[in-house]
Copies of this chain bind each other. A is one copy, B any other.
Amino acid sequence: MAYVIGVIGGGQLARMMVPPAIHLGLDIRVLAETEGSSARLAATRVGDYHDAETVLAFARDVDAVTFDHEHVPQDVLAALVDAGVAVHPSPEALFVAQDKIVMRRRLTDLGLPVPDWAAVRDAGALGVFLAEHDGRAVVKTARGGYDGKGVRVVRSADGADDWFAALAEGEALLVEELVEFRRELAQSVARRPSGEIVAWPLVESIQRDGVCAEVIAPAPNSAGRLADVAEQIARTIADELGVTGVLAVELFETTDDRLLVNELAMRPHNTGHWSIDGSTTSQFEQHLRAVLDLPLGDTGMHDRWSVMVNVLGGPEQGTLAARLPALMEDLPSVKVHDYGKDPRPGRKVGHVTATGDDLDDATYRARAAAEFFQG
């Protein structure tokens, strides 16, 4: 019998798990939030992942459940575990990815390098932190943020009053030093329940307006110690938190040569999309292997460089399909990934990847391809 994998959430990450599931002969089933989701081809059920009954019914007869996102509530995850379902990553590991304050605390306890931080509940506490950090800091909501949402730079103690006012009993905001960084990096690894860990090369991630815009794999000038340290950080987190599946660790390379952990994601991540076209084993195939506790695949690269550029929806833009012929005509070597989503402004609706032995050339081709969709 084929392995059966259930994915909660019908976004582009679930969508991109479908091709490797087809090739490996896995039976992939998706619980989507809506009809017409990005992963609609594999959506066997549409329903609310906040509802334990819905999720339990979906998870019947699967070998493992995994996720398109980290938002499934802990009580639903607990119900799955109680029902004997293999949940990967585990609720305990996911708990750390679901709450930025919990995450900072765990990483600090593990002795891993993170920006200075504090959990603050009011303007007074924020003011104290600001005073200690040159009058500026980053405030983040502990839960629910993504792609720059729930993140704000503040320069005065009243800069987060609206968020403080919205806090429930016992909740707090995360405040962090405004890190002066040279660049952002990301290190992805995959870990099986049995403990095997395999890493991809360290990559550079270029953000625009708080959203990942481009990824270069491997990160230029990252051979040697920088790559070793980044991989060791990701391995430590995966091991210590017992992560199963893909773990992506976003890192700051600071202007004073520190490597600090920024964010964690316990699932395939935007900074690993290049691996579909650039690596022997993509992060989507590896995630499926890992959560089913199958031996992990080789992560060697096809070419020296892979460059991925995101495609965002914009006001002038129709569907990507309308722009496809011109792009293909001009750039026959670029790989296109259309998430089948309505192209609302700012929404990630696809990505393009170019690979090759010359970084400038690959970058040019990937950017030019994205321009066809966005220009």
Enumerate chain A interface residues (CB-CB to B < 8 A).
1-3, 15-16, 18-19, 22-25, 41-42, 276, 280-281, 289, 294-298, 300, 302-303, 319-321, 324-325, 328-329, 332-333, 335-340, 350, 355
In the complex, chain B residues whose CB is within 8 Å of the CB of A23: 16, 19, 276, 335-338
For A329, the chain B residues whose CB sits under 8 A away are 295
Q: How far is the CA of A303 from the CA of B23 in the complex (A)?
A: 20
Shortest C-beta distance, A175 to chain B (Å), equals 41
Residues on B with beta carbons closer than 8 Å to the beta carbon of A42: 41
In the complex, are the beta carbons of A295 and B332 less than 8 A apart? yes
Does A294 contact B325, Cβ atoms closer than 8 Å? yes
- The answer to whether A289 touches B328, judged by C-beta atoms less than 8 angstroms apart, is yes
Residue of B nearest to A320 (CB): B25
Contact of B22 with A41 in the complex, beta carbons under 8 Å: yes
A332/B297 contact (C-beta < 8 A), A25-B340, A302-B303 known? yes
Task: List the B side residues contacting A289 at CB < 8 Å.
Answer: 328
Cβ-closest chain B residue relative to A329: B295
Given contacts A2-B321, A280-B333, A325-B294, contact A22 B25 (CB under 8 A): no
The answer to whether A333 and B22 have CB atoms under 8 Å apart is: no
Rounded to whole Å, the gap between the CB of A320 and the closest CB of chain B is: 6
Residues of B close to A328: CB separation below 8 A = 289, 294-297
Q: How far is it, in angstroms, between the C-alpha of A303 and the C-alpha of B336 when the chains are bound?
A: 21
Question: Do A24 and B333 touch across chains, with their CB atoms under 8 A apart?
Answer: no
Contact A295 B325, CB 8 Å, known A41-B41, A41-B42, A340-B2: yes
Residues of B within 8 A of A333 (CB): 280, 297-298, 300
Closest partner residue, chain B, to A63 (CB atom): B321
B22 x A321 contact (CB < 8 A): no
Rounded to whole Å, the gap between the CB of A23 and the closest CB of chain B is 5
The listed residue (B1, B3, B294, B338) touching A25 by CB distance below 8 A is B338
Interchain nearest-CB distance for A36 vs B (Å): 11
With both chains docked as a complex, state the minimum distance between the C-beta of A4 and any C-beta of chain B, in angstroms: 10
- Shortest Cβ-Cβ A-B pairs, 7 listed: A25-B338, A19-B19, A295-B328, A298-B333, A302-B302, A295-B329, A298-B332
For A335, list chain B residues within 8 Å (CB). Answer: 23, 280
Provide the bound-state CA to CA distance between A3 and B3, in Å. 31
Contacts of A24 in B (CB 8 A): 324, 336, 338
Q: Nearest residue in B to A299 (C-beta to C-beta)?
A: B332
A162 CB to nearest B CB, Å: 38
Taking a contact as CB atoms under 8 Å apart, the answer to whether A2 and B325 are in contact is no
Which single residue of chain B is at the shortest CB-CB distance from A330? Answer: B295
One of B3, B15, B295, B321 near A1 (C-beta < 8 A): B321
List, in ascending order, chain B residues with CB within 8 A of A300's CB: 333
- 5 additional A-B pairs beyond A19-B22, A25-B320, A297-B333, beta carbons within 8 Å, are A16-B22, A16-B23, A18-B22, A23-B276, A302-B302
Q: Which residues of B contact A332 (CB under 8 A)?
A: 281, 295-298
Q: Which residues of B contact A336 (CB under 8 A)?
A: 23-25
Q: How far is the CA of A51 from the CA of B218 in the complex (A)?
A: 54
CA distance A294 to B322 in the complex (A): 11
Closest Cβ neighbor of A298 among chain B residues: B333
A373 to B350, CA, bound (A): 36
Residues of B contacting A321 with CB < 8 Å? 1-3, 25
CB distance from A256 to the nearest CB of B (A): 39
25 A-B pairs, CB-CB below 8 angstroms?
A: A2-B321, A3-B321, A16-B22, A16-B23, A18-B18, A18-B22, A18-B41, A19-B19, A19-B23, A22-B41, A23-B337, A23-B338, A25-B337, A25-B339, A25-B340, A25-B350, A41-B41, A280-B355, A281-B332, A289-B328, A295-B328, A297-B332, A297-B333, A298-B333, A302-B302
